[in-house]
Amino acid sequence: MQVAFQAERFPEPAFSELQRRVFADVQAESAALAQVLADEGPALPDGGQAPMLRFAARRGDELLGWSVGWMERGRVYYMAHSGVVPEARRQGVYAALLDAVVAHVQGLGAVSLRSQHSVLNNAILRCKLRHGFHVTGFSHSPQMGALVELTRHLHPARQALWRERVLPLVAPAV
C-alpha cells in the first residue's frame, strides 16, 4: 500500500462511486433525519433575537422557582437557567416547571429542549434524566467549570431516530 499526502486528481467515475459506497450509510441516516424533519413541519422563523420566555412557580405571591430560556434555530428550546428556593426543593417544584416549559414550547412548535448544567448539580441532572432528557454532550466553561448538556426530544420519531443512532454506540454496563 502506498499513501500520498497530495493527489492531483482522483480517477472518475471510480472516485464518485467510491464516495457513494463509503457514505451510503450516512446518506441513509441523513434521509431518515430529513423525513423526521419534514414530518415535524416547517421551521419557525429565525429572524432577529428570540424572545426570552420566563416561567414562574409560585405559592400565592411567593416565588418558589423559575425557568428562563428561548427558542434557538432548528426549533430547539434552550433552557438557560432555572432555580428553586432551598425550602421548596424536593417538593416537585422543578418537575412542575419542566412540565410547564415542555407544554408551552411544544405549543410553539419546539422539537426538543436543550440545557447545560454543572456536572456537580446532581439534583437537577437526576430530575431531568427522570423526565426524559439524555446526556448529549460535555463542555467546559471558565465561569461554570465542567458542563453536561442534556436534551429531550419531544416527538416520538425524533426520539426513535436518536435511540437508533446513539444507543448502539454506548458501551454496555459491566
Helices (H), the chain: 14-22, 24-40, 93-107, 122-130, 156-166
Predicted confidence (pLDDT) per residue in 13-36, tens digit: 876 776 677 666 656 666 665 666
- Residue 37: per-residue pLDDT: 58
Specify the pTM: 0.68
Identify the residue whose cell numbers are 421548596: 88
Q: Give the span between the Cα atoms of 32 and 7, in whole angstroms.
A: 34
pLDDT at 43: 55
Q: State how far Cα 73 lies from the chain centre.
A: 12
pLDDT tens per residue, range 102-120: 999 999 999 999 999 999 9
Cβ–Cβ under 8 Å, residues 161 and 32: yes
| Tens of pLDDT, residues 37-94 | 566 565 555 455 568 899 888 888 888 899 999 999 889 999 998 889 899 889 999 9
Q: H or E segment at 141?
A: strand 134-141
Q: Under a CB-based contact definition with an 8 Å cutoff, are residues 134 and 157 in contact?
A: no
Distances (CA, A) of 138 to 64, 69, 135, 149, 161: 29, 20, 8, 6, 21
Local confidence band at 163 (pLDDT 50, 70, 90 cut-offs): confident
